[in-house]
Structures are given as C-alpha cells and as structure tokens.
Structure 1
Amino acid sequence: MSKAPVRGFPEAEFAARTQKAQALMAQQGLDGLLLLTEPEVRYFSGFHTLFWQSPTRPWFLFVPPAGKPIAIIPEIGADLMRRTWIEDIRTWSAPAPEDDGISLLTELLSPIAGRGGSIGIMKGHETALRMPLGDYERLMDGLPG
C-alpha cells in the first residue's frame, strides 16, 4: 500500500514568509499585521479547513513584529490549527454573536494601540474585512487611542 504524498510546505517556508512580512512591516512602521481571510491566514500558517465556507464565523491571524503569528479562532478549528506551526492559539466558543472573538482580539491589540502603535490590515483588491462591520467598530472602540 502506498503512502499519501506529503502536502503543504515545511515550517521553514512559513517562517521565511513571516520574517519577510515582518521586515516589510518594520520598513512601513507597522507594529503588527491583522489577517482576516482564508488566503492570508493560509499563506502565513498553512491552516487549511472547510470551515471558511461558513460566512458567519471570523478567523484572525496576527503577525507580530517578531516571532510566530498568533491565531484567534473559533474553538472548532483549534485541533486543525495545532497541526500547523502556530503555537499561540486563542479560541472562543462560536458562534457567539455578542462576542465572536472581538474581546480576545482587543486584548491582544490593546497594548500596541495603547502605546500609539500601528496595526496593518489588507485593503487592496481581492481583500475583505471578513467580520461584521459592527464587530470592527467594536474592536476600534475597544482599543485605546
């Protein structure tokens, strides 16, 4: 019986992608990068799941200025995310319309915002916020400064 071929990229590839982004972030004066869509999250983590087909559940990946990205995801995806190179995985029990991960995201980003730091998000062609506008507004309102 033949073995299935290995899929995906080695951890070193994700580390190199992250380090390149972190170097570009430093050039741009960014203290972090918040990723919200399937292609962005997969590019930096290798996380592959059909859960993206649910349009109501947000998934977040934060790239800090140094070190590995941090996942803020629904608990249902934690087991799969643990199979990637990501170590810091923060979860909530979803769906939770009153707080779909926003408090976890606010907790993570508040120290950066509190010191006047800048957090980047994608906003070009073929990008999307992938969270309700109300949640984005709650996040912005919850961050100091």
Structure 2
Amino acid sequence: MDQEASYGFAPTEFEERVARAQRLMGQHRLDGLLLTSMDNIRYFIGVDSTFWESYTRPWFVLIPATGAPLAIIPEIGRAIIEKTWVKEIRSWPSPRPEDEGTSLVVEAISGLPRRHGRVGAELG
C-alpha cells in the first residue's frame, strides 16, 4: 500500500487544505479553528472511521492560525489518526463521562498564540 492510500490523500493536499483554512482564519481574525463534525474532520485529515459515530466519544481537530493541526481524540481512535498527516495527537481513555476530552480541548485552545482572541467553531 502506498503512503497516499494509507493517509487518505497526498501530503501536499493536506498542506494546501490547512494553508487555505489558515489564510481564511487570518482574514476573519481567528487564532484557530475547532472541528468537531465527521465531515470536516474527514476533509482536513482524510480519516474515515466509524468510531466517531458514538456521540459519547467526541473527536476534535484544532487547526491553529499558524502551525500544524492537532487531533484530540479518544484513545481508541489513536491508531487511526496515526495513519494521517496529523502528527500531534492528544488522547484520553474513554469512556470517561466526567471529561470526554474537554479538558484537553481547553488546554489546546489556551495554548494557541493569541493574536485576535477568537477561535472559530462549527455551529450545530
């Protein structure tokens, strides 16, 4: 199996998608973009998994205005994300009803370089 088939798409495609999102973040004065829907996560990192069909185990991808995206996912999905172009992966042992990754999301957003003080997120 070649790398592209394993990773969903070529590294240049990944880089172009992230760069375009980062340009748009700059235009809209955002420090980052938090993705939570399977369609948007699939678009940006190329992963396709049934694990995120569980609403009790959310998946997150944070794209900073500069730098590389990071995935925040339940430990059960780590091996899947390791086959994408995302290199920084933060995970937790799920199920953990008291904190299904929210503390890791807060930590990641708090660690973003603050230029505008705003992070974009999906509605719905």
User: Which structure's relative contact order is higher, taking Cα pairs within 8 Å and 6+ residues apart?
Assistant: 2
Runs of at least 5 residues in structure 2 that lack an aligned partner in the other structure: none
Q: Which amino acid aligns with 1:107?
A: E
2:32–2:63 Cα contact (<8 Å) kept = yes
The answer to whether structure 1 residue 73 and structure 2 residue 73 are counterparts is yes
Q: Deviation per CA, 1:69-109, whole angstroms, max 9, x where unpaired?
A: 10000000001100000000000000111000011111111
Task: Give the match for residue 58 of structure 1.
Answer: 58
Structure 1 residues 56, 117: closer, same or farther in 2, change over 3 A? same
- 1:114 Cα shift? 7.4
Matched residues in 2 for 1:69 and 1:112: separation?
11
Task: Give the match for residue 90 of structure 1.
Answer: 90
Matched residues in 1 for 2:26 and 2:106: separation?
22
Matched residues in 2 for 1:18 and 1:113: separation?
17
The answer to whether structure 1 residue 99 and structure 2 residue 99 are counterparts is yes
RMSD over equivalenced CA pairs, Å: 2.3
Q: Which amino acid aligns with 2:29?
A: G
User: What percent of counterpart residues are identical?
Assistant: 45
The answer to whether structure 1 residue 15 and structure 2 residue 26 are counterparts is no
- 1:68 Cα shift? 1.9
Matched residues in 1 for 2:21 and 2:14: separation?
11
Aligned length in residues: 122
Structure 1 residues 85, 111: closer, same or farther in 2, change over 3 A? closer
The structure with the larger Rg is: 1
- 1:111 Cα shift? 3.9
Q: Deviation per CA, 1:113-136, whole angstroms, max 9, x where unpaired?
A: 97761000122xxxx3xxxxxxxx
2:34–2:60 Cα contact (<8 Å) kept = yes
TM-score computed with the length of structure 2 as normaliser: 0.88
1:31–1:65 Cα contact (<8 Å) kept = yes
